[in-house]
């Protein structure tokens, strides 16, 4: 689902999250492990103010474990604990609970000192579209929560979802906009599938992905597509297009006359990349 973000939507999305801040003890910021910074809202610190925050690097099953390690160190330097998760195939709930309790340990201890029973931790999941918010909410709820309007500005009555006895989650996640003014960010998000192809051309997205892989994951490209010669100079655009054409030829993406159908080849590369067919690949590294 693609959201058309306009300034009015952004303001409303931001206000909706900020209205919920007073209801919650902490925020769970969901990022895409393959492109953590590109999938991050540019104003997130301002929006969440000083709420305790747990960063989750979702879709870590598709991300390069080495890159994910580097990202965890990156967030640690900023005083944020980041936890890689797989909301679909993994079992993230217990670890999220434990990390959340650690995050709020002072608050919980203060309640105990006063002789109170610590009440359930209240949390809100926030993130850009497609990062896995609904999937994670369903996992934490242990059942399918009715899909809510995944559009900025669409609200319904507030519901708390129990996660065991120690946590409660707002059933509607906070939907944030990515930092799309930056073209590289747009390409990374498009390559992972967070942004639909109608906005950028598949050839452009696949070109970006193939170039990135030629630099960082040459073995994966070679293994999957048997491309014999990868370019020495990955800055050479023609050489990258030749790799795309070689892949198209190998995979039968040919138009009459024997020319490679570059759009078809691009769609194939992107589909396979997103499905993890090329292995675990991250498309962004910390500076």
Q: Which residues bind ligand GDP (CB under 6 A)?
A: 58-59, 61-62, 86-88, 127, 129-135, 150
Kindly state the smallest distance separating residue 126's Cβ from ligand GDP, in Å. Answer: 10
Nearer to ligand GDP among residue 104 and residue 161 (C-beta): 161
The length of the chain is 287
- Minimum separation from the CB atom of position 31 to ligand GDP (A): 11
Distance CA 251, CA 263 (A): 13
Tokens of residue 150, six digits: 């995944």
CB of 149 to ligand GDP, least distance (A): 11
Q: Where are the alpha helices (DSSP H) in 193-258?
A: 202-216, 218-225, 237-250
223 φ, ψ (degrees, to nearest 5): -65, -45
Give 101: exposed, middle or buried? Use CB within 10 Å, 0-12, 13-18, 19+: middle
Which residue, 107 or 179, has its beta carbon nearer to ligand GDP? Answer: 179
Of the candidates 237, 250, 182, which has an alpha carbon nearest to the alpha carbon of residue 211? 237
Name the residue nearer to ligand GDP (CB basis): 132 or 231: 132
Q: Tell me the closest approach of the beta carbon of residue 3 to ligand GDP, in angstroms.
A: 9
| Minimal CB distance residue for ligand GDP | 132
- C-alpha distances (whole Å) from 187 to each of 39, 169, 284 are 11, 32, 11
Residue indicated by tokens 């507030």: 158
Contact in structure between 285 and 67 (CB atoms under 8 Å)? yes
Shortest gap between Cβ of 132 and ligand GDP (angstroms)? Answer: 3
- CB of 176 or CB of 240, closer to ligand GDP: 176
**Residue 100 or residue 134: which is nearer to ligand GDP going by CB?**
134
């Amino acid at each position: 689902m693609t959201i058309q973000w306009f300034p009015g939507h952004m303001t409303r999305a931001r206000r909706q999250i900020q209205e919920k801040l007073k209801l919650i003890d902490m925020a769970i910021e969901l990022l895409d492990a393959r492109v953590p910074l590109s999938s991050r809202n540019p104003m997130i610190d301002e929006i969440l103010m000083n709420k305790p925050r747990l960063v989750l690097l979702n879709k870590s099953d598709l991300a390069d474990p080495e890159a994910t390690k580097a990202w965890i160190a990156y967030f640690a330097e900023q005083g944020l604990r980041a936890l890689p998760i797989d909301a679909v195939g993994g079992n993230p709930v217990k670890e999220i609970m434990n990390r959340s309790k650690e995050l709020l340990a002072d608050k919980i201890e203060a309640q105990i000192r006063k002789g109170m029973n610590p009440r359930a931790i209240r949390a809100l999941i926030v993130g850009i579209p497609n990062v896995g918010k609904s999937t994670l909410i369903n996992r934490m709820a242990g059942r399918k929560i009715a899909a809510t309007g995944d559009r900025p500005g669409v609200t319904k009555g507030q519901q708390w979802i129990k996660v065991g006895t120690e946590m409660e989650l707002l059933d509607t996640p906070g939907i944030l906009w990515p930092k799309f003014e930056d073209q590289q960010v747009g390409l990374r998000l498009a390559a992972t599938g967070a942004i639909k192809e109608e906005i950028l051309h598949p050839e452009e997205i696949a070109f970006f992905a193939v170039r990135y892989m030629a630099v960082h994951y040459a073995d994966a490209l070679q293994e999957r597509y048997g491309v014999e010669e990868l370019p020495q100079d990955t800055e050479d655009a023609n050489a990258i297009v030749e790799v795309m054409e070689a892949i198209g030829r190998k995979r039968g993406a040919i138009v009459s006359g024997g020319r490679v159908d570059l759009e078809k080849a691009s769609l194939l590369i992107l589909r396979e990349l997103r499905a993890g067919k090329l292995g675990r690949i991250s498309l962004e590294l910390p500076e």
